[in-house]
Amino acid sequence: SGSSTTSVVGLALLPVFAAGAWLGTVRLIPAMAPLLERAGIAGVDLNKPGSTKKIPEAVGVVCGLVYLVTLFLYIPFHFDSFLLNSDKRDDFPHEKFVEFVCALLSICCMIFLGFADDVLNLAWRHKLWLPTVASLPLLMVYYVNVGSTWVLVPPFMREWVGGETINLGYLFYVYMSMLAVFCTNAINIMAGINGVEAGQSLIIAASLVILNIVLSFMGQSDHHLISLCLLLPFCGVTAGLLRFNWFPSSVFVGDTFCYFAGMTFAVAAILGHFSRTLLLFLAPQTFNFVLSVPQLFKIVPCPRHRMPRVNARTGLLEPSVVEVPLKSTSSLGLWCIAVARMVGLVRVVESTDERLVVTNFTVINTVLTIAGPMHERNLVMCILFIQVVCSVVALALRFGVLFV
């Protein structure tokens, strides 16, 4: 069927809708921030010494609302030729339409869940199984519309696997539903300094937009175009959010935005058939997740906040630390610390017979450990630079595999 189901008018209007999403976000954030503050969903920025001003949190809820409205309004234009021409109505491509609607359903559920988390502080177990359930309709659509669970084997593994492709069977569906859980949480734990959540999300989304545009020109158009339609308005709302969330932040994004961003990436990757390539673009988040595992699973003690701390005297950020009592920490925990220290990912600040004081296990702290104390704006630039490098490498690898 190729590009036959996609409307040229719709695609031409897509940048207009994305710009509208940007404008809507920029207009609505100042209007809704006072509502959030009044409801008590606000907090002090801990990295601004001496500041006691309450900053509204969970502003991602505005982005989510604007995003949903934008796509609701866009969808009819995407299918305009079928809607306007009554002869073609019987050929309406339900199988494409349902992909859009399932995508929005999964995303809407995650925005709702994220907002509920910001307001209510849900338990960890809910955060893990709810995204899995929310991805069910999408997996059903993938099963019915695509069904193929054959995946390309990377060149260096082909000899070992014994072929260029391999059938992962139902494991591929397990992978896709875990991707939804992973993405939502991976963005959420690479957070805590002004602009880092929205910044990394914007860079990832923009890279995926480039990926989709290039691949759709190379012929696999329909599924890349749907992915594009989901990502471009996302870039719009995220750019709008970044204007207020950039250093010094006047709003915080909240779990709402992180869940929203993560689910949008997962959905765009599943419908665009690049659910494995996505992990290349999420390399910093994946690395950060792996590095965080000892603390997330309480093998090494985990404080409530792991973001860097400002030094009130210098005004620079320094890595935050955690106290590790030697008696109550398992040998596995101590081994994790030793390995991470050897590789240079953490630094032991203090060491006595009774306890260690170690920098927290996150990429943001590692950057500060290696490069020394830094101004908050420089730190976020540094993290975003790493994201840009990873995105460029991911694009090069993806296009490289195509031409190999």
In the chain, the largest separation of any two C-alpha atoms, in whole Å, equals 82
Secondary structure (H, E, C), 116-181: HHHHHCCCHHHHHHHHHHHCHHHHHHHHHHCCCCEEECCHHHHHHHCCCEEECCHHHHHHHHHHHH
Q: Is 57 in the site for Mg ion (CB under 5 A)?
A: no
User: Using CB under 8 A, which of 30, 40, 155, 315 touches a second copy?
Assistant: 40
Rounded Cα–Cα distance for residues 266 and 248 (Å): 30
CA of residue 89 relative to chain centroid, distance: 37
Note whether 64 and 106 are within 8 A (CB).
no
What is the nearest approach in angstroms of Mg ion to the Cβ of residue 384? 24
Q: Is 136 in the site for a second copy (CB under 8 A)?
A: yes
What is the nearest approach in angstroms of Mg ion to the Cβ of residue 294? 21
Name the residue among 217, 325, 214 with its Cα closest to residue 277: 214
Q: Is 117 in the site for Mg ion (CB under 5 A)?
A: yes
Burial level of 4, CB count in 10 A (0-12/13-18/19+)? Answer: exposed
Nearer of residues 17 and 79 to a second copy, judged by Cβ = 79
What is the nearest approach in angstroms of a second copy to the Cβ of residue 137? 6
What is the nearest approach in angstroms of a second copy to the Cβ of residue 105? 5
- Of 12-20, 120-128, 351-359, 361-369, the segment contacting a second copy by CB under 8 A is 120-128
Q: Is 130 in the site for a second copy (CB under 8 A)?
A: yes
User: Using CB under 8 A, which of 144, 152, 171, 392 touches a second copy?
Assistant: 144
Tell me the backbone φ, ψ of residue 159, rounded to 5 degrees: -65, -40
Nearer of residues 87 and 354 to a second copy, judged by Cβ = 87
User: Using CB under 8 A, which of 11, 80, 92, 248 touches a second copy?
Assistant: 92
Find where tokens 């106290």 sit: 323
Rounded Cα–Cα distance for residues 350 and 187 (Å): 31
What's the chain's length in residues? 404
Q: What residues between 236 and 265 interact with Mg ion by CB under 5 A?
A: 255
Sign of the CA dihedral 10, 13, 19, 23? negative
Q: Is 137 in the site for a second copy (CB under 8 A)?
A: yes
Nearer of residues 197 and 255 to Mg ion, judged by Cβ = 255
What is the nearest approach in angstroms of a second copy to the Cβ of residue 249? 20
Q: What residues between 331 and 370 interact with Mg ion by CB under 5 A?
A: none
Secondary structure (H, E, C), 315-376: CCEECCEEEEECCCCCHHHHHHHHHHHHHCCCCEEEECCCEEEEECCCHHHHHHHHHCCECH
User: Using CB under 8 A, which of 16, 39, 293, 401 touches a second copy?
Assistant: 39
Nearer of residues 18 and 299 to a second copy, judged by Cβ = 18
- Of 6-14, 118-126, 188-196, 263-271, the segment contacting a second copy by CB under 8 A is 118-126
Q: Which does 111 bind (CB under 5 to 8 A by kind): Mg ion, a second copy, none?
A: a second copy
The count of residues interacting with Mg ion (CB under 5 A) is 2
- Of 141-149, 150-158, 291-299, 337-345, the segment contacting a second copy by CB under 8 A is 141-149
**Planar angle of CA 314, 318, 322, nearest 5 degrees:** 135
- Of 18-26, 92-100, 156-164, 374-382, the segment contacting a second copy by CB under 8 A is 92-100
What is the nearest approach in angstroms of Mg ion to the Cβ of residue 192? 13
Q: How many CB atoms lie within 10 A of CB 178?
A: 15
Q: Estimate the crossing angle of helix 136-145 against helix 254-271, to 10 degrees.
A: 10
- Using DSSP, state whether 191 is helix, strand or coil: coil
Q: Which residues bind Mg ion (CB under 5 A)?
A: 117, 255
Q: Which residues bind a second copy (CB under 8 A)?
A: 32, 35-36, 38-41, 61, 65, 68-69, 72-73, 75-76, 79, 82-83, 89, 92, 94-95, 97-98, 101-102, 104-105, 108-109, 111-112, 115-116, 119-122, 130, 133-134, 136-137, 140, 143-144, 147
